[in-house]
Amino acid sequence: MSTIQANLIEPSSGTTLTLGASGDTVTLPSGVSMSGFNSVGIDDNAVANAITIDSSGAVTKPLTPAFFAKNTSTRMNVTGNAVLYTVIFDTELFDQNADYDTSTGQFTAPVSGRYFLQAQVSTDGQTTTNTDATFQLNTSNQSEDTYYNPGNMEGTAATGQVSINNSGIFDMDANDTANVKVRVNQGTQIINVMVNSFFSGVLVA
């Protein structure tokens, strides 16, 4: 193998500089960086591997914002009497870019894009007199509200829970936030948010 050392290689005027031929492999050694390279369609601004393709062709994007958080303890007496409660999902199963806050229940978009968000909230303590409720999947730009009758949906006495969920693709700007809220009308503030509740999201475009 021969070594060529040069500070500048330029093609002849009006021609194209070609490296290698069909069937050749051109390798950029580890630790070598490229500057002034204008990519087409893909911008390489990452400080680590942003896209990995394994030998089977499976593609992973380990830096893509993605999270899943769940509730691990009952939130007592948080709604009823038309109180709007922001649900705190206190435990992360994963948070790929550290964008979800377990203390506030809030996800903050690190970059502008389209995010798929999904959430479920389970409550108990409602009775047949609690006929109106709202489940909200909120972002800074929009709110998707689901209206339901928790008293009519309540499970058997063994569980006594109502579960409601929603999902969608949301347009979010960098630093926009997303959270989940629930409000049960009628009665007094004695309705609990149970552990069978979760909030997840991922940047899709």
* pLDDT tens string 73-112: 999 999 999 999 999 999 999 999 999 999 999 999 999 9
What pLDDT score was predicted for residue 157?
A: 58
pLDDT in tens, 45-55: 666 777 888 88
Q: What is the pTM of this model?
A: 0.75
What pLDDT score was predicted for residue 20?
A: 78
pLDDT over 70 percentage in the chain: 87
- Sequence-distant (6+) residues with CB within 8 A of 58 are none
Compare 111 and 33 and report the one with higher pLDDT: 111
pLDDT in tens, 128-159: 889 999 999 999 999 999 999 998 887 655 55
What pLDDT score was predicted for residue 36?
A: 61
What pLDDT score was predicted for residue 149?
A: 94
What average pLDDT does the chain have?
A: 88
Report the pLDDT averaged over residues 177-181: 98
What pLDDT score was predicted for residue 94?
A: 97
What pLDDT score was predicted for residue 37?
A: 55
Confidence check: pLDDT of 40 > 60: no
Confidence check: pLDDT of 42 > 70: no
CA dist 9 and 7 (Å) reads 7
| DSSP assignments along 139-194, one per residue | ESS-EEEEEE-HHHH---TTT-EEEEEEEEEEEE-TT-EEEEEEEE-SS-S-EEE-
Delimit the domains of the chain by residue range.
66-203
Is 66-203 in CATH node 3.10.20.90? no
